[in-house]
Amino acid sequence: MHYGEIISLVALGFGAVLGVTSLISPSWAAGVVRLVEDPDPDKPGGYSEFRATFGGFFMLVHMMTAALLLTVSASEVTLLSILVVLPLAAAWIGAAFGRTVSLLLDGKKNRDRGMIPVWIPMEFLTGLAIAAPVLQVI
pLDDT per position as a tens digit, 33-44: 777 767 777 777
Please tell me the predicted confidence (pLDDT) of residue 8. Answer: 94
Task: Give the H or E element holding residue 27.
Answer: helix 26-33
Q: What is the DSSP letter of 38?
A: -
Domain assignment present for 110 = yes
For 111, the domain range is 3-133
Please tell me the predicted confidence (pLDDT) of residue 26. Answer: 86
CA 26 to chain centre: 16
Q: How many domains would you assign to the chain?
A: 1
Domain assignment present for 16 = yes
Domain assignment present for 138 = no
